[in-house]
Structure 1
Amino acid sequence: MDRDGMKKMKKVILYPLSAIGHMNPMFHVAEALNSKGISITFILTKYNSPNPSSFSTDYSFHFIDDGIAAMETPPSNPVAFLAALNSNSRQPFRDCLESILGSEKGEKSVACLITDPLWVFTRAISEEFGLPRIMLHTSTAADLVILSSPDVLQHDDYPVFPEIIAMVEEVKASSGLICNSYEELEGPSLNTLRQNINIPVFPIGPLHKYSKTSATSSFLLKDKTPIIKWLDNQPPKSVLYVSFGSIATINKAEFEEIACGLANSNQPFLWVIRPDLVHGSENSQLLLEDFEEKVGERGRIVTWAPQQEVLTHTAVGGAFIHGGWNSAMESISEGVPVICMPCLFPDQKTIARHVTDVWRVGLRVDRGGIERGQVEEVIKRLMGDQEIRERLDEFKGTADKCVSHGGSSYESLEKLCSFILSL
């Protein structure tokens, strides 16, 4: 599409789910679309609200009450949390959308709403205003293939999450689907998904490639300099980056076994320990009595890290993650081998199987009965596996190529922009 055509592009409204793992991909989508000349308007809940000054001055922001930000203790159960968000946000979202559309003074300049399928109330409201919806799926395409198959309830990983399965109906009822994936990585799954949902699918990932810095900086205004300086002093490909995402928790016994496995591996590591990582502990770091003294300068423990910059650092040679798609995609596309330990949602088991059995770019450990010897062994295996590194060099090259001019994701983004213009 030529630049003149882009200048005439109508604006889009983006409404991400209020979880960092869902918001970051939406911020990346915003950067991708904005780079093509599309005007961006965000509707965000006050819970987990980012700092608008961290974004392009071209963006518009509207913040709505969600009832969660005012709670002293938000629901710890993810399903209960999701239900509360949906219940509390419906009317504020409708009022905000009406205000935005009403300010257009008869000019229909808003092309569509791009939102998360876990916002289950947006269908009725968008239909009320005649506004097309495009969905952003923030996990792997393979996960949505399982969710959209007729026998999903017979799948071992999914029966206990009917709320997640229900999101497929929201996807099918939408005008199109954006995926944080690319043809060379998930071609067969993407083809099956297109057959299952029968709407246009736009794989434009890896989404983080459209952003110069980690989107988490919009939430946590922390100084990343000490972390990067520490990495600068480590040998190439020597550091294991350990992070279990923004909401997954483990118990005290698992935490202690992982800590001992890390210590016994003699491998340099950077471990992100959120205060709430260990279930039932107010400050997880307090559980590591004498640990930092034992590992010395070989280990660095932090409450937050700029993951995108960390994974691209030359010192990082592996990642120990919870199997979330953002972390897996960022690791694979940056050529970093991964250890997956599925912690929370069903898709993490699907992702872990693909990492180990389909793409063969990492190893897996299961939480059930995890023990320090197992952790030590899997770390040593991963960091010393040259075949995995060679495969990942190819994956990294493909990921870089697909978002470059003429690549599969580049072309898919062009098609997405044309599609938005046609709505």
Structure 2
Amino acid sequence: MGGEENQVHIFFFPFMAHGHLIPTIDMAKLFASRGVKATIVTTPLNAPLVSRTIQRSKSFGFDINIKTIKFPAVEAGLPEGCENAESITSHESEGEMTKKFFEATAMLQEPLEKLLQECHPDCLIADMFLPWATDAAAKFGIPRLVFHGISCFSLCTSDCLMRYKPFKKVSSDSELFVVPELPGEIKFTSKQLPDYIKQDVETDFTRLIQKVRESSWKSYGIVINSFYELESAYADFFKELGRKAWHIGPVSLCNREFEEKAQRGKEASIDEDECLKWLDSKEPNSVVYICFGTVANFSDSQLKEIAIALEASGQQFIWVVRKEKKAKDKEEWLPEGFEKRMESKGLIIRGWAPQVMILDHEAIGGFVTHCGWNSTIEGVAAGKPMVTWPVSAEQFFNEKLVTDVLKIGVAVGAQQWVTVCGDKIKSEAVEKAVTRIMIGEEAKEMRSRVEALGGMAKRAIEEDGSSYSNLNALIEELRGRRL
């Protein structure tokens, strides 16, 4: 590894939201496991989440540190202590708060530049939502790598959609069209596309996305939380676009020990051992896991449809719901007596769940997901077939990768891209999709395909695997820049 002076030093700067922080911390651990000195830059209220997750890595001798910079919440017109995108509540319209949150993150440029000047790392890996980081790093001759947190398939899809605008050539928003130039005959309707891709009218968010694209083009390259074998046609296509990218994932696989998996992210809302005990008592592939990530918020009536579907399907389940348990009020979203009837069959986790730990358990036979990329790649790495229920962001793109390209899941039937609250899907459709990934010939075929991909994912990060070699090549390239 060479001495201290030969050690490559990388700054990691995640966007302040759990779905961005967690994979960035995993990535820092991954680089540190190769002898890189990793420094995670974050704000005071996000630092405890980071330190809790890297504590164990330090005991393995990994060189990971945290540097904090003050988050200008009050200066941007946010409530004191609002330092994570998930603490944005609707004091006023959520859109207004989000806008202020992005304004606050832009004010971090100056303090970041001070740190870069002081420490002069060899590279800055910064989240896509911090587009100004490219210019900040350039001032000191430091290469900036972008972490989009999404798949290469989605990067290619949005690139083709923005360049060719095929959605403008259809007669209605529910007519299917093929994405031009993209390998694999991928079809969408206009309804399934993110607003920021379709909008002709400039909004704060479309301006931000434009900046993200420009800074991404100007940056040194992109690191992707995926592995080459999973989306090779798209990795090759991306290269042809003249973009430098390194597939170094799945980054969640750096958490090998029980504690690491259990303690990844926030404090779990369930005792990990209790959860494990419950899973240990079940047959292999007999439990369906339902979780919609940290952002999607379903209405009470939609949650009720899911509950009805789970009961009707007869499947055992673990269901993560972002709702506090009410002491005396009746919970509107649960059918009368549901929890009593489901006592031995189902486990409801209210709040945060140790997802990687749950997915890796052999009792889990399927995964109902909103198709956020973290969840999708974790599902693949664990070898679990999926029911896809996209809501927003680039989730409809990930659905196509899962159902049409990889053929390891079935769509629940969501048709409409919305910002936070999912499409109204009837219990019959949910029940049918859950049954399709759990029982029968089709389920068996999907399971064997996704288990093979899970094996490839694990091999990719082992010595001489594709992600392992990509990461080595990147570190060596950064080392070479200094000589």
User: TM above 0.5, one fold?
Assistant: yes
Matched, 1:186 2:231: yes
Question: Aligned partners of 2:378, 2:240: CA distance in 1, in Å?
Answer: 27
Task: Give the RMSD, CA atoms, in angstroms.
Answer: 2.6
Shift of 1:185: 0.8
Residue number in structure 2 paired with 1:375: 430
Do the aligned residues in 1 keep the contact of 2:268 with 2:353 (CA within 8 Å)? Answer: no
**Worse-superposed segment, 368-377 or 58-67:** 58-67
Residue number in structure 2 paired with 1:18: 16
Q: Cα 1:189–1:296, aligned 2, differ >3 Å: closer, same or farther?
A: same
Matched, 1:52 2:51: yes
1:107-135 CA-to-partner distances (Å, cap 9, x unmatched) read x4x10110111112222322233322111
Question: Aligned partners of 1:202, 1:78: CA distance in 2, in Å?
Answer: 35
Question: Aligned partners of 2:97, 2:228: CA distance in 1, in Å?
Answer: 33
**Worse-superposed segment, 86-95 or 266-275:** 86-95
Do the aligned residues in 1 keep the contact of 2:123 with 2:144 (CA within 8 Å)? Answer: yes
Q: Cα 1:293–1:256, aligned 2, differ >3 Å: closer, same or farther?
A: same
- Equivalent residue pairs, number: 409
The SS at the match of 1:377 is helix
1:143-202 CA-to-partner distances (Å, cap 9, x unmatched) read 111232353644431343524454222211111110111111111111111222x24210
**Structure 2: which 5+ residue stretches go unaligned?**
168-189, 198-205, 415-422
1:280-301 CA-to-partner distances (Å, cap 9, x unmatched) read xxx9966325221122210100
Superposed, 1:130-149 pairs within 5 Å as 130-149=141-160
The SS at the match of 2:342 is helix
Residue number in structure 2 paired with 1:173: 218
Matched, 1:87 2:103: yes
Do the aligned residues in 2 keep the contact of 1:6 with 1:36 (CA within 8 Å)? Answer: no
Matched, 1:123 2:134: yes
The SS at the match of 1:4 is coil
**What amino acid does structure 2 have at the position aligned with 1:118?**
F
Q: Cα 1:82–1:147, aligned 2, differ >3 Å: closer, same or farther?
A: farther
Question: Aligned partners of 2:330, 2:434: CA distance in 1, in Å?
Answer: 22
The SS at the match of 2:40 is strand
Residue number in structure 1 paired with 2:194: 158
Q: Cα 1:16–1:338, aligned 2, differ >3 Å: closer, same or farther?
A: same
Do the aligned residues in 2 keep the contact of 1:13 with 1:112 (CA within 8 Å)? Answer: yes
Question: Aligned partners of 1:325, 1:158: CA distance in 2, in Å?
Answer: 15
**What amino acid does structure 1 have at the position aligned with 2:244?**
P
Superposed, 1:392-407 pairs within 5 Å as 392-407=450-465
Residue number in structure 2 paired with 1:245: 293
Q: Cα 1:331–1:415, aligned 2, differ >3 Å: closer, same or farther?
A: same
Question: Aligned partners of 1:415, 1:167: CA distance in 2, in Å?
Answer: 25
Superposed, 1:224-239 pairs within 5 Å as 224-239=272-287
Question: Aligned partners of 1:38, 1:215: CA distance in 2, in Å?
Answer: 25
Residue number in structure 2 paired with 1:257: 305
Question: Aligned partners of 1:128, 1:69: CA distance in 2, in Å?
Answer: 32
Residue number in structure 1 paired with 2:200: none
